[in-house]
Structure 1
Amino acid sequence: MPLLDIRNLSVDFATASGQFRAVDGVDVAVDTGEILAIVGESGSGKSVSMLALMGLLPWTATVTADVMNFDGTDLRGLSARKRRDIVGKDMAMIFQEPMSSLNPCFTAGFQIREALRVHLGLDKKERHARAVELFELVGIPAPEERLRAFPHQLSGGMNQRVMIAMAIACNPKLLIADEPTTALDVTIQAQILDLLTGLQKDTGMALILITHDMGVVAETAERVSVQYAGQKVEEQPVADLFETPHHPYTAALLAALPERATTRHLPTIPGVVPGQFDRPQGCLFSPRCRYSDETCRSVPPEPRDKAMGYARCHYPMSAKAEAEA
């Protein structure tokens, strides 16, 4: 049994003009000690699906799933009090924007010690010692001094490390990292990724990495799930996906990598991710896909089998290549 098992997850938001489906029938499964990457453009539902798992969506969201199990616990219908016993302790999340996720009114030390008090019941001396240990673990220099600092007194990279320290404070079984290197310079990005993968190896926790950077995926993940417009369109081991992508969207993402460019200009994907009012009748990627035909534009595709990377496509890439040959 996987540590995390989600099947047919959907998230609908109530808007002034009706319901908008941000996540549509997504499956996620992660084993203990595994690194899963979830990739896709902004608007693909990556963060929303994980926030739904954490129970952190606003009241306007309606979450449904056939299965939503974590470490043997069914999260569907779980009360807020019981969910709080899990979230922050066994299941933790590093949010995308540390400056807006940390409370500006409290010091970094107070915020990390609060998590230790609530979840582990440590006394004051033990909380302080653990906070210092965590700051040293994530590479924050002069931890005693930094514990007394407010978020605005720390750099973006330092705040990101504070967020990581808070997330791993209780030795979670699952850590979700939502764009952990966004808005950081290249050297800090590499340090943060090395830190996360090192912690994952040392503790044996499962790691879900939400990103739009395929280079990060290649360096860190073992398996990758590709999302587009709220749907999972492909899932494969990383090496297989980079070698043989089956969905045209995955192939287009990989073609846009600078190291794969064969001309002076990088390839691009025309158009934008469909929103609430411009969703196609058939395949959601069909308006941007150079292979689309009338079937693609009118009939929603079903996911293929494992051999085809569960590609949600009428004409998976390998099948199309064989037909053209």
Structure 2
Amino acid sequence: MSLLEIRNLSVDFATSSGQFRAVDGVDVTVDEGDLLAIVGESGSGKSVSMLALMGLLPWTATVTADKMEFDGHDLRRLSGRARRRIIGRDISMIFQEPMSSLNPAFTVGWQIKESLRKHTSLSRSQRQDRAVELMRQVGIPAPEKRLSAYPHQLSGGMSQRAMIAIALACRPKLLIADEPTTALDVTIQAQILELLTGLQEDTGMAMVLITHDMGVVAETVERVQVQYAGQRVELQEVQGLFDDPHHPYTAALLAALPERATERKLPTIPGVVPGQFDRPAGCLFSPRCQFADARCKAERPVPAGPAMGHALCHYPLSHGHPTGKETAA
């Protein structure tokens, strides 16, 4: 049984000029102890998908799904109170910007212990001990002293570690890490990723890593979900994805990696992600795809089978060539 199962998730935002679909029919499955990455460029609906799961989107958002189950609970039908018992305890999230996510008016220690107060029956002294343990666990030196520090007194790396401590406070079954290395230098990025994967191994929790860094994906996760313009376009094991991507967008992303460049100039993907008013009638990637034909521009594709990475494409690629198309020869 899957720990998390989401089917046909869509998120629409009300704007002054109409509805904008940020997430369009996305499926997400996470098993116990799983390591899943959700990748794609900005605007692909990565963070919005997970914020919809957490119930943290603004009132302008309309969330619909055929299924949204976590650990046997149907999140669509839970009351607000019942949902809050799960969110923050069994499902936890590390947000993208620690300096804006931590409350500047309270000490780091207070913010860790508040989560424990809300979701556990620990006494005040037990909460203090657990906070110290968490600070030590995430690699913050002199944890007893740092508990009394305010967010502005910590460096970017220390703030990120404090965010991780808050997220891990109640020993969640699922941890969502939203761009956990954004705005950190390369050395600190490596430390944070090593910390997260180490904690995942020690605790056995499942983790969803939201990122646009394919290098991080290659070193960190087991499965990769690629999103484009709010849709899931591919889902594969990490090795299979890097060896033989099946969606043209995935192939183009990988081709743009510096380490894969065969020429002096890096290849790029022409055009931009479609917005509210320029979404194509057919495949959303068709205006930027080198393999697109009239069918691609007119008909919405359906996902291929597991052998083709569930690619949302009329002509999934196999070793760089489109299948089921005369040009494949």
Match of residue 288 from structure 1: 288
RMSD: 1.0
Mapped to 2, the partners of 1:98 and 1:121 lie a distance apart of 27
Match of residue 322 from structure 2: 320
CA deviation profile, 1:230-284 (whole Å, cap 9, x unmatched): 0000000000111110000000010011110111111111111111111111110
Mapped to 1, the partners of 2:296 and 2:323 lie a distance apart of 17
* Percentage of identical aligned residues: 75
CA-CA distance at 1:52 after TM superposition:
0.3
Match of residue 135 from structure 1: 135
Match of residue 87 from structure 2: 87
Q: Which amino acid aligns with 2:91?
A: M
The 1:321–1:301 alpha-carbon spacing in structure 2 relative to 1, beyond 3 Å, is closer
Mapped to 2, the partners of 1:151 and 1:180 lie a distance apart of 17
Mapped to 2, the partners of 1:147 and 1:190 lie a distance apart of 24
Gapped runs of 5+ residues in structure 2? none
Match of residue 64 from structure 2: 64
Q: Which amino acid aligns with 1:201?
A: E
Match of residue 223 from structure 2: 223
Corresponding pairs, count: 325
* Runs of 4+ in structure 1 over 3 Å off: none
SS in 2 for 1:126: helix
CA-CA distance at 1:78 after TM superposition:
1.7
Contact 2:291 2:322 in 1 (8 A): no
Q: Which amino acid aligns with 1:64?
A: T
CA deviation profile, 1:191-248 (whole Å, cap 9, x unmatched): 0000000000000000000000111110011000000000000000000111110000
Match of residue 19 from structure 1: 19
Q: Which amino acid aligns with 1:301?
A: P
Pairs within 5 Å for 1:135-214: 135-214=135-214
Q: Which amino acid aligns with 1:252?
A: A
Contact 2:315 2:323 in 1 (8 A): no
SS in 1 for 2:84: helix
Contact 2:234 2:311 in 1 (8 A): yes
Mapped to 2, the partners of 1:270 and 1:94 lie a distance apart of 33
CA-CA distance at 1:74 after TM superposition:
0.3
1:310 aligned onto 2:310: yes
SS in 1 for 2:134: helix
Q: TM-score scaled by structure 1?
A: 0.98
Q: TM-score scaled by structure 2?
A: 0.97
Match of residue 55 from structure 1: 55
CA deviation profile, 1:140-191 (whole Å, cap 9, x unmatched): 0111111111111111111000000000111000000000001100000000
SS in 2 for 1:89: coil
Contact 2:38 2:225 in 1 (8 A): yes
Q: Which amino acid aligns with 2:262?
A: T
SS in 2 for 1:58: coil
CA-CA distance at 1:77 after TM superposition:
2.8
Q: Which amino acid aligns with 2:31?
A: D
Gapped runs of 5+ residues in structure 1? none
Mapped to 1, the partners of 2:317 and 2:267 lie a distance apart of 18
Mapped to 2, the partners of 1:271 and 1:195 lie a distance apart of 37
Mapped to 1, the partners of 2:303 and 2:285 lie a distance apart of 14
Contact 2:93 2:178 in 1 (8 A): yes
Q: Which amino acid aligns with 2:309?
A: G
Mapped to 2, the partners of 1:242 and 1:178 lie a distance apart of 22
SS in 1 for 2:36: strand
Contact 2:13 2:19 in 1 (8 A): yes
Mapped to 1, the partners of 2:48 and 2:159 lie a distance apart of 23
SS in 1 for 2:37: strand
